[in-house]
Amino acid sequence: MAETMRRGNRKNTRFLALAFIAGLLAGGVLLGGMLLPFSEDLKTISTRLEDFTPSLTTRVYDIRGRLIGEFFTERREYARLEEIPPLLQKAFIASEDQNFFRHPGVDPFGILRALWQNLLNLRVVEGGSTITQQLSRSRFLDNRRSIERKIKEFLLALLLERRYTKEEILEAYLNQIYLGHGVYGVKAAARLYFGKDLTDLTLAEMAMLVGVARSPSYFSPYIDFSAAQKQKRRVLRRMLECGFITQEEFEQALSAPIVLSGLEKRASLCPYFLDYLLKELRTTFEDWQIFSGGLKIYTTLDADIQRVANEALKESGYQGAILCIDPTNGYIKAMVGGRSYEESKFNRATQAYRQPGSTFKPFIYAAALDSGFTPSSVLVDEPLEFPNGWKPQNYERIFRGPMTLREALEKSVNIIGIKLLQEVGIDKVIQYARKMGIRSNLRRDLSLALGTSELTLLELTTAYSAFANGGMVPEPLAILRVEDTAGHVLYEKTPVVRRALSPDTAYIMARLLQGVIERGTGRRAAIGRPVAGKTGTTEDFIDAWFVGFTPDLVCGVFLGNDDRKPLGPQKTGGIIAAPLFARVMKEALKVTPPHDFSRPEGVVEVAVCLKTGLLPSPSCKTVVLPFKRGTAPQTVCTSCP
């Protein structure tokens, strides 16, 4: 009886198949007439078939080749067919298109089988589209359900099969398919769900991955693990029926545990830096290349330094920015543009124009050293009043009388800065700032000495590179090279370094700025090795700065509220910005052996009186200062008791 029923079912199936084929033949003329309106569209689409590479993710790497970011419209890593395990290929074929290697692009028997299963279950449990049809739909058509789209899908599948091999179609399909959570293609999906390369997937994991493809919004294990398990069983059963796995493998895979890698929101390590990169990339590449071309972008960033800079600013509780640059070549090693990218995408390292306060004073002192002044030159710290009524003050609201330039810079004395600017000349100081990389507008009045002209942290940090690098200042550099998917170099940049200061002047400035940390306002920036820098604080404690350097790295810290509300009483650059500098620099240089600034032949170092800057008497406290040859003091101090 059962055998008779099976024979009857087979006869019914053959009858339905023959009827279906006969219907297709009988409707050929009608179908031809229906296709005429679509002929031009199909002609246009067919010309795009050669461009068969799907949208690929562009990947961004740090200076050590570590992935630090991605640009994409569809998150995808391309995998060639030989990179995809044969068992995973078979799993897709068993699940989606058992006759894939036998049909011409459409499968009448597959359609009948799907109709039969759907009728038996009184719901849609199986689709009739082949892998080629699915590729045609996802690659070239929209998702609207219509007769027109179905006809185009049908014809495109036939066109694909005529132009490409089955293997090429399968490779394209496995890279094109959407697998949930913004991920396309099996390679990216393997990382998303299991944190593995394709070659490391187990049979159970492969089956679950294939099951997700039916409907990622329902069958993703991150959404409904039970539904994903049912899909896994369905795929394994199909593989068994097709002879792709044994009964033993089927049973083992059914009971094998599935461990998901965890669907965590991937916070970018360097979002402000990626935005900065994007702006530069767009000067050379089109958006489709950047977001869909699968480029490899190798950058100057150091992920380790970036990570500690991120943490330092976040844990400080202040809004602001941190920037680290290699002074020898301009490589941007870290860029933190704000406390939280989610809260604000405004990059305070490159876009925030703020008053730098006393961090501007080194430009005045550098110009002064080339105008006949020395570290031992003396100016008087005293009350000043100008014809317009301006009465500048020092931070401490006191006046110290005669002071050497060395002491005035270490203590960041405003009055001496103003007097020095008067002596040297505003135009000359502006000229020096320009040579060192300051591009922003600078005020042509004496308030320039107090850092009232707004500029960016990127400008200021780059300019300080001249002090660290023997007078040579580099252009900031973020991108080393860009490669295509085949490894061909499409874009490459080399460092651009130019002379801004003489080696003698740069070295003397580095030594004077060391004194700021050893004896002056920047003591909290000490890191246990030769280091120099300058504090900056604006009126009413609105902005706090510290920019410092070793011979290997320059680091700038800016803290300030976007609405310019005061940071709080006594929140100076030396109090709140200098410690962030020290934290970042200690971590950044922990594997770099300490070494001092290199003294040029044109500079001599002489022990002088700490107070007067003259040659010391036996009773003087001393400090060793650098002087250009022929400018060291010749007089012995007589002021010390």
Task: Give the position of tokens 């990339």.
Answer: 281
Q: What is the DSSP string of 162-184?
A: HHS-HHHHHHHHHHH-B-STTEE
The rounded distance, in Å, linking the Cα atoms of 595 and 72 is 43
> Residue 155: its pLDDT value, please?
77
Catalytic residue among 77, 95, 96, 465: 96
- Residues 537 and 553: beta-carbon distance below 8 Å: no
**Which CATH architecture fits 357-453?**
3-Layer(aba) Sandwich (3.40)
Q: Which fold has domain 44-59+75-255?
A: Penicillin binding protein transpeptidase fold (1.10.3810)
User: Which residues touch 478 (CB under 8 Å, ≥6 apart)?
Assistant: 273, 276, 277, 280, 299, 300, 301, 332
> Residue 202: its pLDDT value, please?
96
- Residues 466 and 506: beta-carbon distance below 8 Å: yes
387 CB-contact burial (10 Å; exposed 0-12 / middle 13-18 / buried 19+): exposed
Catalytic residue among 95, 129, 358, 377: 358
**pLDDT averaged per 10 residues, the chain (length 641):** 41 45 43 47 51 76 95 85 96 91 75 54 56 77 60 76 88 90 91 94 96 91 94 96 95 94 76 95 92 94 98 97 98 97 95 98 98 97 94 93 97 97 98 97 96 97 98 98 95 97 98 98 97 97 98 98 96 98 97 95 97 96 97 94 77
Give first-to-last CA distance, the chain, whole Å: 126
- As a whole number of angstroms, the longest Cα–Cα distance in the chain is 127
Catalytic annotation present for 39:
no
CB neighbourhood size of 392 (10 A)? 16
> Residue 447: its pLDDT value, please?
96
Q: What is the DSSP string of 398-424?
A: ---EEEEHHHHHHTT-HHHHHHHHHHH
The rounded distance, in Å, linking the Cα atoms of 278 and 285 is 10
Dihedral class, residue 229 (left if φ above 0, else alpha if ψ from -120 to 50, else beta): alpha
> Residue 112: its pLDDT value, please?
61
Name the residue ranges covered by the structural domains of the chain.
44-59+75-255, 357-453, 601-641
Q: Where are the alpha helices (DSSP H) in 27-130?
A: 28-35, 39-46, 86-96, 108-121
- Residues 296 and 483: beta-carbon distance below 8 Å: yes
> Residue 375: its pLDDT value, please?
98
Catalytic annotation present for 358:
yes
Provide the β-strand partners of residue 183: 75
Backbone angles phi, psi at 504, to 5 degrees: -65, -50
